[in-house]
């Protein structure tokens, strides 16, 4: 049985928070909202508890988890060699949607760090997450609360539908305001490196700590796209429908998509287009409007991908977005959900 608590972030029910914190203290799993996506939490210092996270998600155990805290003082218990740049990032961006990678202390089990000598740490700003972490007073390991490979949930209803009875507790709060997972920044080398782009961008970080690199692996995958060598092994954030990114000038993109839609309807494939608000009338099939601007696209992307399954589409075409600022994070997630399939026009 899963204990479900509905909690309003503007009027936090402390009794419900206490019940969920008690579940975590017993070494069990609780899903909670954050400002990025919902997280599936357990005591980060308890190997058995952490094992339950991997089991609930069906996640490979070499994929390390992010440890969530509510007070910067907790960092010293978990990590060592904390650099000046790390301190600047924590002071400037926490609580908020950025995770930092530091060398770990022995107290963090290898199961939490996926066998690495480093640990990922994040202090969320969502009020419900903060209340839970403060009540439980333990560092909480939490990956996104989706079954491995599926889009991350950003709405309570999506969490409930996918995870009820797979975990011990679920806190249903509001929608996640950022909608994409946190930026992951590796601070263990001299020049910090972004391992996963997010709402806090390379430009935001460079403004406070100077040069920041993007992980080579992110670039290599972009080469794959140019080479049109989609690797199914990279598939992630995927709905059941087949997703394609259509790239080019918007007039050409619209023509191409409309041509593909016609072919699909002959084959009786149910098709939708994910697009910006301003383009929705260009397409002669169902549209899923992602928003007016990149911030809105980021916030709506995962729930749009989940709705694709609810409406049982077979094929989804999506417009391409600028690969700059938060656009980089959007394109990173879209490319994965499309299994790197890009149609160039």
Please work out, in degrees rounded to the nearest 5, the angle formed at the alpha carbon of residue 43 by the alpha carbons of 2 and 23. Answer: 30
Q: Between 39 and 156, whose beta carbon lies closer to ligand TXA?
A: 39
CA distance 225 to 341: 7
Q: Between 85 and 158, whose beta carbon lies closer to Mg ion?
A: 158
CA distance 39 to 72: 20
Q: Are 13 and 7 in contact (CB under 8 A)?
A: yes
For residues 195-254, which are near Mg ion according to CB under 5 A? none
Q: How far is the CB of 336 from Mg ion (least distance, A)?
A: 10
182 is a contact residue toward Mg ion (CB under 5 A): no
Contacts for 251 with CB less than 8 Å, ≥ 6 apart: none
Binding mask 29-48 for ligand TXA (x = CB under 6 A): -----x-xx-x---------
144 is a contact residue toward Mg ion (CB under 5 A): yes
101 is a contact residue toward ligand TXA (CB under 6 A): yes
Give the binding range for ligand TXA (CB under 6 A) out of 110-118, 232-240, 251-259, 308-316.
110-118
Q: Calculate the alpha carbon distances from 325 to 19, 56, 95, 193, 263 in Å.
A: 40, 33, 20, 15, 35
**Could you say which of Mg ion, ligand TXA, none residue 44 binds, taking C-beta under 5 to 8 angstroms by partner kind?**
none
Q: Name the residue among 281, 278, 272, 251 with its Cα closest to residue 345.
A: 251
Q: Name the residue among 68, 33, 23 with its Cα closest to residue 169.
A: 23
78 is a contact residue toward ligand TXA (CB under 6 A): no
214 is a contact residue toward ligand TXA (CB under 6 A): no
Q: Between 75 and 315, whose beta carbon lies closer to ligand TXA?
A: 75
Q: Are 307 and 158 in contact (CB under 8 A)?
A: no
Q: Are 161 and 2 in contact (CB under 8 A)?
A: no
86 is a contact residue toward ligand TXA (CB under 6 A): no
Give the binding range for Mg ion (CB under 5 A) out of 90-98, 110-118, 136-144, 211-219.
136-144
Q: Name the residue among 220, 219, 211 with its Cα closest to residue 193.
A: 211
Q: Between 107 and 263, whose beta carbon lies closer to ligand TXA?
A: 107
Binding site for ligand TXA (CB under 6 A): 34, 36-37, 39, 63-66, 99, 101, 113, 116, 118-120, 122, 142-144, 181-182, 184, 195-196
């Amino acid at each position: 049985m899963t204990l479900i608590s509905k909690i309003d972030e503007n009027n936090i029910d402390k009794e419900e928070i206490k019940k969920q914190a008690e579940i975590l203290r017993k070494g069990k799993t609780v899903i909670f909202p954050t400002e990025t996506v919902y997280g599936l939490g357990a005591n980060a210092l308890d190997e058995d508890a952490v094992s339950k996270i991997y089991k609930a998600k069906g996640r490979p155990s070499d994929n390390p988890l992010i440890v969530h805290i509510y007070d910067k003082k907790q960092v010293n218990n978990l990590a060592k060699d904390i650099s000046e740049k790390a301190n600047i990032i924590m002071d400037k961006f926490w609580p908020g949607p950025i995770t930092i990678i530091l060398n770990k202390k022995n107290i963090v089990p290898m199961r939490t760090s996926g066998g690495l000598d480093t640990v990922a740490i994040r202090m969320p700003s969502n009020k419900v997450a903060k209340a839970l972490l403060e009540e439980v007073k333990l560092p909480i390991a939490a990956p996104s609360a989706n079954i491995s490979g599926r889009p991350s949930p950003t709405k309570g209803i999506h969490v409930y539908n996918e995870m009820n009875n797979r975990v011990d507790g679920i806190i249903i709060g509001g929608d996640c305001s950022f909608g994409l997972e946190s930026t992951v920044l590796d601070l263990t080398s001299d020049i910090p490196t972004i391992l996963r782009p997010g709402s806090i961008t390379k430009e935001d970080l460079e403004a406070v700590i100077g040069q920041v690199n993007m992980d080579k692996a992110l670039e290599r995958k972009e080469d794959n796209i140019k080479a049109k060598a989609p690797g199914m092994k990279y598939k992630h954030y995927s709905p059941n429908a087949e997703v394609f990114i259509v790239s080019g000038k918007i007039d050409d993109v619209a023509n191409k998509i409309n041509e593909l839609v016609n072919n699909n309807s002959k084959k009786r494939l149910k098709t939708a287009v994910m697009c910006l608000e301003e383009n929705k009338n260009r397409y002669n099939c169902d549209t899923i409007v992602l928003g007016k601007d990149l911030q809105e696209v980021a916030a709506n992307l995962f729930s749009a991908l989940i709705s694709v399954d609810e409406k049982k589409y077979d094929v989804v075409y999506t417009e391409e977005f600028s690969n700059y600022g938060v656009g980089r994070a959007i394109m990173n997630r879209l490319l994965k959900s499309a299994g790197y399939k890009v149609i160039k026009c």
